[in-house]
Structure 1
Amino acid sequence: MAGKTAGLEDLSVAFVTEPVAAADWLIAAPVVFCLMAGAALLMLRKRTDLQPLIALPALVVLNGLTLGLLAHVLLNGTVTMTMGRWLPPFGISFTVDPLSGFFAATSALVALAAGIYGRSDVDHSGRRYGFYPFLLLIMAGVLGAFLTGDIFNLYVWFEVLLISSFGLLVLGSERGQLDGGVKYAFLNLIATTLFLVATGYLYGLFGTLNMADIAIKASDLRGTAPLMTLVALFLLAFAMKAAAFPVNFWLPASYHTPRLVVSALFAGLLTKVGVYALLRILGMLFPMQRDELALIIAIAAALTMVLGVMGALAQNDIRRALGFLVISGIGVMMAGLALGSPAGFSGAIFYAAHSMIVMTALYFAVGIGARLGGSFELTSAGGLYARNAMLAMLTLMLFLSVSGLPPFSGFWPKVVLVKASLDVGAWWLAGAILVTGLLTTITVGRIWALAYWRPSPEEGRLEATQEIANARISVPGALPRGAVAALAGLVILTVAVGIWPEPVLVLSQDAALGLLDPSDYVLSVFPAQEVSQ
């Protein structure tokens, strides 16, 4: 009897029956490619000579895939691919809008720069224990988080990048790395647990985890479900992931311990995934609850900005100072989230992309400077300008960019955010952004004066040499061409965006409008006739 009726079932009600368009395979291709390339490198882990020869071309291909995906989205609008042929909300969807496409392309560029820099920063032992496989796998997690349209799978991709980051953090198994790894793991596991609790709570309220489906149902549940409690859980979890005040103390305790290339990768990407999740969930799914929490978010943003840069100003270790500058930048992005306006979101998105590039490059510059001068400590460093003027000038441009000064990429998003703050009467938030910029300029100016402009002190050379040995940095004075090329490429990018910001401004504005009006996102997942039903 079942056999007689099986052929009469209308599979189109529950399944995707049309073939996937060729261009839509780009939606899942970056994540699939990273997993396959990481698995291949893992199988060849004993061939350390082949690791960079395979990983670097793979990262070039990854950049091509993410740029192709971004172009596809800009030409055709938000695109969706649902796995397993099940129609949403039952099938797991990857949905790519301008925000996720922009972040994916920028993160792939950072990964390529890290791969090039890692050729000189990671020795035979580091390759043997999986630097390049972990690099590809952490990119799978980062890209999966940016591209997924399902909140539970956002949690899954967070787990993928978290597990990979553990491997990168303890690469070398030194005491300082293990100590930093324990702090990093403990606090991130707490944040992950909060995320999982909030996800279960969300499913209990909505009966779905598809972001487009939640966007449709959220307004109907307002007043009948404890949505504020749910949003507060997400805010706390992602604020901890992003290292926002008051749950930011784990970052400066851990980011200075691994190899420089790992610190650069973490500073450029991992906290930005937390910011992306805040923008996506609070900005697109629960805008009314975000409005009610706006003052709390704004206060946390201002404290994150100011206390972060004050922590940087107090440091003697340049790596720890950069860790606090990462935290300060997170506050700037959260200011845009607090404002909730198109300009506020646009400024936060622009600043996040700028921070991915500039913070990665700053860690590169510090690593190369330590090779040249022999120390990370300001009391022991000096004379870097006399040793290599080109490196000093590249670093100075990065210092000006992170301070938000023209003509570099950090200037424009701060202008947008200050104006957006003044437009809504939040003069104190605009003041916090400007004061943070001033204190950042003082902080990096102090580093420049002591490490680059000041003549090299003769005292402390023995300690500096021992520090270099402990940090597994190559012989001081040896500047590998690949590392310098990776640094120079990122510096050129921040200068180019500073001089010609229009493309990034337009892209950031489109991404912000997509968050504030998710109709294109929803219609990409659900056809118009299904939404109307």
Structure 2
Amino acid sequence: MTISDNLMGALAPLPVLIPMLAAAATLVVGRRPRFQRVITLIALIGVVAVSGLLLYLADRDGTTAVQVGGWDSPIGITLVVDRLSAMMLVVSSVVLLAVMIYAIGQGIRDGSEAQPVSIFLPTYLALTAGISNAFLAGDLFNLYVGFEVLLAASFVLLTLGASADRVRAGVSYVMVSMVSSLIFLAGIAFAYAATGTLNMADMALRFDNIPPGTRTAIFAVLLVAFGIKAAVFPLSAWLPDSYPTAPAPITAVFAGLLTKVGVYAIIRAHSLLFPQGELDNVLMVCGLLTMVVGIMGAIAQSDIKRLLSFTLVSHIGYMIFGIALSTTSGLSGAIYYVAHHIIVQTTLFLVVGLIERQAGSSSLRRLGGLAAASPILAIVFLIPALNLGGIPPFSGFIGKVALLQAGAADASALAWILVAGGTITSLLTLYAVARVWTKAFWRARADAPEGDLADVSPSALIDESEEDIAFVDREDVGKIPVFMLIPTVGLVIVGLALTVFAGRIIDISDRAAKDLQDRSIYIDAVLGNHRPVPVDEAPVAADDPAVAPSTDAPNSDVPNTDVPNTDAPNTEEAPR
């Protein structure tokens, strides 16, 4: 084992271990919010540093597997670091750190006394650990555990504050997630019954000997489970109603990251376990419908949060398109687009939080004049909005061009339909964000249909007896805290970096896609010397000429036939 392998083995568990230990520490100092925040920031900075080093080592030295607890594969828990998982760790850790700084700057929802601040930080760290565990998992059950950690933490974060809308959205989210988890668990049971293992590398080898119909059925069950988590149409109806009710930092994390964990699971299952492509056409149709239905829903919205939630659904379709092509160029484009979309979508939801703080609402019917009132806010919205719309030379344009080129190279009728659908979706996305710009930033606030109500809290419109009616009565409205603005601008810069360094990042995604296409790299890294002997490498049969009895044997009385004579006993001892 080389020094690099030892270093990777020491670093691989840390993206999961650091936030879990930090979560325990924040619970111990729960009565000291400052200590909690310091511990959380140190832990997240550590995860960013470790993830960056893992990406460097994985890109330089290739895939590495770590056996946790001293049990060899395929029995023990395996963590796998390859270019794909390391890239996802880097992007997710950067986003999680930026959102945490934003939340601290917001005072954990403006420092409301009703907000259980001491619960937020350890739960957020548990969410971080669940995300990291999902990206590193080398077996299906450990992936399931990562999803369940995400589910538990997500429900707590989604319902913080315990308002009626949040509890209602939280219950809906948990019910949908529980259904997804049950389907996933059923898929794990079916896969284990068919292969006798949960280790994905070992399972990949054994699936080759499973009848195609059984294999396709198991893949379909897992796709439904992952499709719900990734919000793939027609399994995406839950998302637009769940995310907009949460505070801005939580909505940003959910929109930017959680759906991409589902996309990652689809990539891993499709490329490693089921590379035969039986359901590629189904995935293409789902990708097309996800793009078109999502963007049509976005155009119909008058609230920025809901509009962005529908664009989130829509752009998942691009990633599914790249996966379904089953080519290196398609996978590379999908990986790059996942990284781009995590950054840009998170940034836009953080900007919406700033808009709500500045103007008291996220409804387009109440907003106007924001460009004149806050030029900085206009800039930090405009750049990621154009990026999402795919305007050259931003990373959104680069990612879409890569996917459309991969579709054109496929040259099938369905791929060409996807190319046309992707182009139309990009144009409609640009129309949707341009509509937000013209209504919220460009027009005068007096021209908004409900511009006079923008300063009034939504609950006050229902209950006139509420004491704290107007946002303008609070001293902090209209002022953007520095620690809310800095991480937002930081993510805008990261999004621009995806454009400036697009060549290098696409090179990494190309190498990651090639690794995914060559399953033996992953399988050899995980199983090593414990790799089972394939059927075609098993000992040859007795009728093979290499081991068949020689016709020159001294027993000339025995007839030279292909089938030995079993009627007469063999009275001579076989030569040794």
Q: Same fold (TM over 0.5)?
A: yes
**Given residue 47 of structure 1, which amino acid in structure 2 is its aligned partner?**
R
1:327 aligns with 2:313: yes
1:83 deviates by 1.5
Name the amino acid aligned to 2:501: W
- Counterpart of 2:215, as a letter, is L
3-state SS of 1:292 partner: coil
Question: What CA distance in whole angstroms lies between the structure 1 residues aligned with 2:410 and 2:8?
Answer: 42
Task: Give the structure 2 partner of residue 75 of structure 1.
Answer: 60
The residue type equivalent to 2:23 in the other structure is: G
Distance 2:265 2:512 in 1: 14
Shift of the 293–391 alpha-carbon distance from structure 1 to 2, 3 Å rule, reads same
Separation in structure 1 between the aligned mates of residue 281 and residue 455 of structure 2, nearest angstrom: 46
- When residues 471 and 220 of structure 1 are mapped into structure 2, their CA distance, relative to the original with a 3 A threshold, is farther
Report the alpha carbon displacement of residue 54 of structure 1 after superposing the two structures with TM: 2.0
Q: Which residue of 2 aligns with 1:159?
A: 148
CA–CA distance in structure 2, aligned partners of residues 296 and 45 of structure 1 = 49
Equivalent residue, structure 2, for 1:4: none
TM-superposition CA deviations, 1:387-438 (whole Å, max 9, x none): 1112201211111111111221111111011011111122110011100000
- 2:525 equivalent in structure 1: 524
Q: Does 1:203 align with 2:192?
A: yes
Matches of 2:243 and 2:346 in 1, distance apart? 12
Match of 2:278 among 255, 271, 292: 292
Residues 1:449 and 2:444 are matched in the alignment? no
SS in 2 for 1:248: coil
- AA of the residue aligned to 1:439: L
Name the SS of the counterpart of 1:220 in structure 2. Answer: coil
Task: Report the equivalent of 1:502.
Answer: 503
1:220 CA drift (Å): 2.1
Q: 2:100 aligns with which of 109, 115, 134?
A: 115
Aligned to 1:105: 90
Q: What SS does the corresponding residue of 2:65 show, helix, strand or coil? A: strand
| 2:205 paired with 1:228 | no
CA distance in 1, matches of 2:378, 2:194: 55
Counterpart of 1:393 (choices 356, 379, 385) is: 379
SS where residue 287 of structure 1 aligns? coil
Q: Aligned pair 1:36/2:21, yes or no? A: yes
Classify the secondary structure of the residue corresponding to 1:439. Answer: helix
Distance 1:306 1:318 in 2: 19
C-alpha distance in 2 between matches for 1:351 and 1:327? 14
1:346 aligns with 2:337: no
Which of 271, 279, 289 in structure 1 is aligned with 2:259?
271
Shift of 1:23: 3.8
Q: Secondary structure at the match of 1:261?
A: helix
Deviation at 1:463, TM superposition (A): 5.4
C-alpha contact (below 8 Å) 1:48/1:127 kept by paired residues: no
In structure 1, give the amino acid aligned to 2:32: R
Change (3 A) 1:310 1:212: same
* 2:253 corresponds to 1:252: no
The CA distance in 1 between the partners of 2:245 and 2:295, in whole Å, is 20
Q: SS state of the match for residue 273, structure 1?
A: helix
Query: Equivalent residue of 1:80, what SS?
Result: strand
The residue number in structure 2 matching 1:62 is 47
Deviations 1:12-41 (A, max 9, x none): xxxx9x9x8244211111101110011111
Q: Deviations over 1:175-205 (max 9, x none)?
A: 1111111111111110110000000111010
Q: Using the alignment, how far apart are the partners of 1:363 and 1:323 within structure 2?
A: 9
Q: Which stretch of structure 1 is more off in the superposition, 65-74 or 102-111?
A: 65-74
2:479 corresponds to = 478
In 2: Cα distance, 1:434 partner to 1:386 partner: 33
1:56 and 1:453 map into 2 onto residues whose CA distance is: 37
Once the two structures are TM-superposed, the CA of residue 53 in structure 1 deviates from its matched residue by 2.2
Deviation at 1:496, TM superposition (A): 1.9
Unaligned residue ranges in structure 1 (runs of 5+): 1-15
Partner of 1:421: 407
| Preserved contact between residue 73 and residue 530 of structure 2 (Cα < 8 Å) | no
Residue 51 of structure 1 and its aligned partner are, at CA, apart by 2.4
> Alignment partner for residue 86 of structure 1, among 62, 68, 71?
71
The 5-angstrom pairing of residues 298-337 of structure 1 reads 298-337=284-323
- Cα gap change, 1:166/1:354 in structure 2, threshold over 3 Å: closer, same or farther? same
Change (3 A) 1:297 1:437: same
Report the residue type matching 2:80 in the other structure. T
Number of aligned residues: 514
Radius of gyration: which is bigger? 2
**Aligned partner letter, 1:177:** R
1:359/1:111 Cα in 2 relative to 1: closer, same or farther (>3 Å)? same
Q: Which of the residues 452, 456, 472 maps onto 1:465?
A: 456
Summarize the Cα distance change of 1:126–1:59 in structure 2 as closer, same or farther, 3 Å threshold: farther
Supply the AA of the counterpart residue of 2:509. S
Question: Per the alignment, in what secondary structure is the counterpart of residue 80 of structure 2?
Answer: strand
Closer, same or farther in 2 for the Cα pair 1:371/1:474, shift >3 Å?
Answer: farther
Q: What is the distance in 2 between the residues matched to 1:467 and 1:398?
A: 28
8 A contact 1:350–1:413 mirrored in 2: yes
Q: Secondary structure at the match of 1:340?
A: coil
**Counterparts of 1:179 and 1:41, CA distance in 2:** 28
Q: Which runs of 5+ in 2 are unaligned?
A: 460-467, 535-576
- State the identity as a percent: 38
Residues 341-383 of structure 1: per-residue CA shift (max 9 Å, x gap): 1111111111111111011000011111121122111010111
Match of 1:6 in 2: none
Deviates more, 1:51-60 or 1:340-349: 51-60
